[in-house]
Every structure is written in C-alpha cells, then in structure tokens.
C-alpha cells in the first residue's frame, strides 16, 4: 500500500491544485455539481463532481491559464476565465450559482486576482 500511495504522491509533485465550494444564492452547498477546469492553451479538460458539502478539488493541473466552469440542474452555468495557476499553487476559488436554466451562462472575465488561501507561503516568480 505504501508503494501505491508514494507513486501517486510523486506523480502529483510540482503540479497545481484548484479547490473551492459550490453554493446556491443563499450560501447553501450544491452537491453533485459538475466542475471543470479547461486549460486555455491546450484545451484539455479536467472534470470533477462536488461532494455533499458542495466542495470540489481538482488535483494535478499543469501550470497555465484556465477557465473554470460549474454546472448543476436548475442553475445557470457559471464560467470564469483567466484563472492563472503556477506549479505548486494551491488555489481556492468558490462559486455561487444563480437559479436559472443551464443554457443561461454567467461568465466572469475580469475580477480580483485569485488568492493563495491554502498556505501562508510567500513566493516570487522571476522571468528570464
């Protein structure tokens, strides 16, 4: 069992994580919502389903710019683009769904930068 766990941990090292809670307009959790992170450069999709507490966690994401989409029956589709992840990032992004038809989409294209809320770590990115 240790070998399997060690292998899984090693494979995720250096990758980014995206997590948060899916809520309805009153702040209650939305279970079984489909949550998807789409890598904007490669168009690769990473999908998970929120748990009974409305929480989702997407592991093993390569660094890049992502669009996050959340869908659930009875709610408008939520889409936020411009979510930038670097290697090793653990980024929290909560979503509040609005009541409506899934064919209606709420798109967030500009907003406050996504904050690193999972750790008190300070880092610096230097380009060549």
pLDDT digits (tens, 9 = 90+) for 99-115: 987 666 666 654 445 55
Average pLDDT of the chain to the nearest whole number:
81
Q: Compute the distance between CA of residue 70 and CA of residue 34 in angstroms, rounded to an integer.
A: 6
CA distance 116 to 74: 31
- DSSP secondary structure, 56-98, as one string: EEEEEEPSEEEEEEEE-TTBPEEEEEEEEE-TT-EEE--EE--
The string of pLDDT tens digits covering residues 64-92 is 999 999 999 999 999 999 999 999 999 99
pLDDT confidence of residue 107 = 65
* The two three-digit tokens of residue 60, written as one number: 């093993």
CATH fold for the domain made of 15-108: Immunoglobulin-like (2.60.40)
- Helix (H) or strand (E) run with residue 121 in it: none
pTM (global) more than 0.75:
no
């Amino acid at each position: 069992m240790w070998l399997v766990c060690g292998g899984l941990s090693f494979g995720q090292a250096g990758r980014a994580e995206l997590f948060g809670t899916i809520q309805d307009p009153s702040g209650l959790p939305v279970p079984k919502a489909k949550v998807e992170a789409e890598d904007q450069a490669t168009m690769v999709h990473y999908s998970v389903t929120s748990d009974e507490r409305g929480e989702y966690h997407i592991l093993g994401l390569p660094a890049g710019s992502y669009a996050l989409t959340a869908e659930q029956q009875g709610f408008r589709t939520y889409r936020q683009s411009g979510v930038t992840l670097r290697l090793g990032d653990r980024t929290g992004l909560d979503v509040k769904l609005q009541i409506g038809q899934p064919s209606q989409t709420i798109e967030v294209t500009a907003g406050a930068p996504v904050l690193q809320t999972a750790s008190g770590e300070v880092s610096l990115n230097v380009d060549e």
